[in-house]
Structure 1
Amino acid sequence: MQTASSTVRLSPASDIIDALQNSLTRSQAITPDLETTYPRFTNDPIIESKDRTVSAITERQQQLDAVLHEFLDLETVMDFKLHHQLVEKKDKITQSMNLPKELVSTHWRLPTEVLSQIFVHCLPETSHFSPAPKLAPVLLTRICRRWRDVAVAMPSLWCRLELEVDHSDWQQQAFCYDSWLKRSQGRPLSFAFKCYIGQSTKLRRLLQPYRNQISSLSIRSYCGVAIPEPLLINLPALQELAITIHSHDRITNIAHSISTSQLRFTLRSLKVIGSMLGLETLSSFNPIWTHLKNVEIATRHADAFIQLLHLCPDLSSLTIHAHFDQKQAVEPFTHSKLQSLRISFSSAPTNRLHDLFNALTLPNLRVLEAGFARAWPHEEFKALLTRSNCPLESLIFSTGVITTDKQRTEYIALIPSLEVVVNPKRYQCFNLL
């Protein structure tokens, strides 16, 4: 035990200064550029390999060892400020090593199954995807080699495509689309594209190798351009078809072409947007209606609505925009399989909705949504529920429908398990015109 009179051996001042200078010189020589970070994800197709990352970690470890060695060299000349600086350097080096360690332990070791699930959740919330470099799934192939391998091997990422045929280099576009479609690996395909003048031939040639895979097709016709009917009738696997067209004559021609093709046996869902369909146009689609499960159309006539139910005995879901602008005698009709009915009316003061409710009996109805019905026929709707004795689960009042608390309570009294939703901002599928 040392006392106040004990002697302590101290190095001469010149030796201390020399030791400090030598230590600082060595410290500067080995101090790494701690602001330099490890490689992060970039837009380049391939980043530095795992081996280079591990090599960088080894280099950092050597630097850390050198700093720790400085502590031993300076035991006799320890300065508080210098000690503080060394501690900071050590902490920075340790912190800089954390990122690559995490990258090695998670990014490189993440199971393919987990990575695949993450990729699915990265997809845009749209029905079809465009090959944009900054959006999934293309973006996923530009992160690193492993991500690219996993994404390219997932056919579910490449089964929905939005085609845009513009006036740029078509060969480059076609190569891009073809590369995308090859990654689907024979899975069912869903397409959405727009028809412009002089482009239908290009589309047919592009899609020809994949026609047996196409199960869903959405076509928009602009500026009076005819929809390529040969493309429609030469799709043996097509089950869903959506057409946006504003020409009544062309709708009739398309209906005739489809009704005489193989599509009358395969088609299960039909959506016609932009044109009002009457009894004559509905008849021109025969015999397609027989096998349809889902339909979305617009019509001006209540009798056409009832006729559609007659033509579609297997119909499960119907979305219709109605513009009943005149009083018509509607014959009573029972449809035993219809489960979902979404109906939107025009803004006309008299929408004749009560005539329709008086005629219908829907014993299997589970979901009903109504929009733009200014004069809601409360008593007629109650009679429909009573007459149908249906297992209605969800009743949705959307834009333009005004009901009272008392009326909604009466509906729940008829069907206690019924959920009534009032959402004036909802605009579900009511954009047919």
Structure 2
Amino acid sequence: MLSALAADRARVADIEAQILLLEHSLLELQSEKQLAQERLDSYTYPVLMLPNEIVTEIFVHFLPVYPLYPPLTGPGSPTLLAQICREWRDIALATPALWQAISLSDRYEVPLHLRLCDMWLSRSRCHPLSLGFDEFALSSSQATDALFALIPHRARWQHLHIYALSPSRLDTLQGPMPLLRRLYLSLAKTTDPFAAQVLLRKMPLLRTVALNDAAAERLILPWAQLTSLTMRWLYPRECAPVLQNTLNLVHCELGLVNDDDEGTPDITLPALRSLTLMDHSIPGYLETLIVPALHNLRISHSFLPFGSIDTALASFVSKSSCKLQDLCLTGGRVVSQDPYRKAFPLAKISVDDGKIDVRFGIFHCHF
């Protein structure tokens, strides 16, 4: 009995000694941890030592080159930059250039993106805007909400790309757009035969326009000031009134539909340097164009008579008295380049078996 008590006392004393040692070790570890934490707290990451102006430039170069659109959320988005740390968030929110290109085109994220759109418009402050709007991806109420958010900033619109806009909403675009340089507009089809044309004016900087047939039919634009024009799915007779008023065009792309109308007048485009004719067969249309400054021609085989393509082109070049430098034949018909090299010895000749694609901003528009 006495030996058992002595053994227990000895065991308790031994445990107390171990506890003291552990407590001493714990105090040492806590002290070491505190010193390490103090060193961490005093450490400044090199990137955080950069001047705010340099960090701002890095942020801007992190995004797609304006006017292209970054994603509204996730990788590649300025929203991500604002989530890294407090310092970066402050810099991102103080940099309007990060928030000036906005696209509403993801039908699966529309409610979130509409909320983010308001935030981005506020953060962009007074900067010009590049806006992408795909009504096909929105419900009617969402499209109304999107326009309601964008219209108050009309004076800042610089690049505007609207796809599948309902004709009933076209009137909402009326009003001064003093900064607008590029307008890409696709209208949805309308069954109203009496739909009135809409005049868009007070756009002194507008130079580049791309339209589908419905938009070209409904819009009246300051054609004379344009230098670049793309139109798709128009009859030649519908193109003629527009082209006759675009004497300053430098670049032109036309996707035409054959209506068997032989009354297309000759059209002179004195400043045109680049011409693309695509899609459907329009025999004889090329001969209606007089383009003395033309250097680059990209043309579908369907515009040229089979068996005498090089002769037709030579006649066109002779009539226009232009100096062709670059000729690209498209449309999938395999041909020898030798006749073209002989007819145009100073021009670069190429054949593209694919079809010409038209891309408006981030939207891939099939008019």
Normalised by the length of structure 2, the TM-score is 0.72
- Out of 140, 143, 158, the position equivalent to 1:197 is 140
Contact residue 200 and residue 228 of structure 1 kept, 8 A: no
Are positions 1:241 and 2:183 aligned together? yes
- Out of 73, 82, 88, the position equivalent to 1:147 is 88
Amino acid at match of 1:129: P
Q: Which residue of 1 aligns with 2:248?
A: 314
**Residue pairs, 1:54-73, within 5 angstroms:** 55-56=39-40
Q: Which residue of 1 aligns with 2:170?
A: 229
C-alpha change, 1:266 and 1:299, in structure 2 (3 Å) is same
2:88 match: secondary structure: helix
Report how far residue 267 of structure 1 moved: 4.2
Q: Which residue of 1 aligns with 2:70?
A: 129
- Summarize deviations over 1:218-248 as a string: whole Å, max 9, x none: 22337xx445234200343344332223314
- Out of 330, 348, 366, the position equivalent to 1:419 is 348
Amino acid at match of 2:158: S
C-alpha change, 1:232 and 1:53, in structure 2 (3 Å) is farther
Which segments of structure 1 move beyond 6 Å, counting only runs of 4 or more? 165-169
CA distance in 1, matches of 2:253, 2:328: 13
- Summarize deviations over 1:263-315 as a string: whole Å, max 9, x none: 576643332226496xxx3xx64463233332222245334344332122222
1:151 match: secondary structure: helix
Contact residue 282 and residue 303 of structure 2 kept, 8 A: no
C-alpha change, 1:209 and 1:247, in structure 2 (3 Å) is closer
Q: Which residue of 2 aligns with 1:373?
A: 302
2:155 match: secondary structure: coil
Are positions 1:206 and 2:184 aligned together? no
- Out of 201, 208, 222, the position equivalent to 1:269 is 208
Q: Which residue of 2 aligns with 1:13?
A: none
Amino acid at match of 2:250: S
- Out of 316, 320, 326, the position equivalent to 1:394 is 326
**Residue pairs, 1:18-417, within 5 angstroms:** 55-56=39-40, 104-105=45-46, 107-110=47-50, 112=52, 115-124=55-64, 127-163=68-104, 174-195=114-135, 196-221=139-164, 225-237=166-178, 238-248=180-190, 253=195, 256-257=197-198, 259=199, 261-263=200-202, 267-273=206-212, 275=214, 281=217, 285-286=219-220, 288-326=222-260, 328-346=262-280, 351-353=281-283, 355-371=284-300, 373=302, 377-413=309-345, 416=346
CA distance in 1, matches of 2:110, 2:317: 58
CA distance in 1, matches of 2:203, 2:225: 8
How many corresponding residue pairs? 327
Question: Which runs of 5 or more residues in structure 2 are unaligned?
Answer: 1-24, 30-35, 360-364
Question: Which runs of 5 or more residues in structure 1 are unaligned?
Answer: 1-25, 31-51, 59-99
C-alpha change, 1:184 and 1:57, in structure 2 (3 Å) is closer
Report how far residue 324 of structure 1 moved: 2.0
Report how far residue 202 of structure 1 moved: 1.9
C-alpha change, 1:189 and 1:287, in structure 2 (3 Å) is closer
Contact residue 337 and residue 349 of structure 2 kept, 8 A: no
Report how far residue 140 of structure 1 moved: 1.9
- Summarize deviations over 1:160-205 as a string: whole Å, max 9, x none: 10125979895x7555222211222312112111333223442343
Report how far residue 362 of structure 1 moved: 0.7
CA distance in 1, matches of 2:230, 2:264: 21
Report how far residue 152 of structure 1 moved: 3.1
C-alpha change, 1:155 and 1:423, in structure 2 (3 Å) is farther
Contact residue 167 and residue 190 of structure 2 kept, 8 A: no
1:341 match: secondary structure: strand
Normalised by the length of structure 1, the TM-score is 0.62
Contact residue 292 and residue 314 of structure 1 kept, 8 A: yes
C-alpha change, 1:202 and 1:239, in structure 2 (3 Å) is same
CA distance in 2, matches of 1:317, 1:391: 16
1:243 match: secondary structure: strand
Amino acid at match of 1:341: L
1:314 match: secondary structure: coil
Report how far residue 131 of structure 1 moved: 1.4
1:198 match: secondary structure: helix
Amino acid at match of 1:400: G
2:356 match: secondary structure: coil
- Summarize deviations over 1:97-116 as a string: whole Å, max 9, x none: xxx8xx834x2344555544
Report how far residue 379 of structure 1 moved: 1.2
Contact residue 370 and residue 401 of structure 1 kept, 8 A: no
Report how far residue 361 of structure 1 moved: 1.8
Measured on the aligned residues, the alpha-carbon RMSD in Å equals 4.1
CA distance in 1, matches of 2:243, 2:290: 11
Quick one: percent identity of the two aligned structures?
20
CA distance in 1, matches of 2:53, 2:273: 37
CA distance in 1, matches of 2:285, 2:110: 53
